[in-house]
Amino acid sequence: MGTCASLRVLPAHPTGHTHARVHTQAEVDAVLGSTKRQPTMADYGNLRYIMRCVNESMRLYPHPPVLLRRALQPDTLPGGYQVRFTRGSPAGQCAAVRVVR
């Protein structure tokens, strides 16, 4: 499960952590106020509870060590590797991306 999927699961967790939802909303309101803007990198240091929720979510639902992606168009990867895509075919070449060292 990837990061995005893990974050989607957290609020919908069957135990229904309403206190966590209330706490995270209060933290966002305190940091961002009523500006309705996207958080910046500087804001993340002040979103401590939310970052703990993200870390716990990733602990419960870790991402896989390899991601598989299918090309939607031809491309050249670093190192000069060519990714092929044939027009008219349902899918292009698969690429495995290692996300851990």
Domain ranges of the chain: 3-60, 66-98
pTM tops 0.85: no
Report the pLDDT value the prediction gives residue 90, as an integer from 0 to 100: 59
What integer best gives the mean pLDDT of the chain? 77
13-53 confidence digits (pLDDT tens)? 545 677 888 888 899 899 988 787 888 888 888 999 988 88
**Is residue 101 over pLDDT 70?**
no
CA 8 and chain centroid, separation: 9
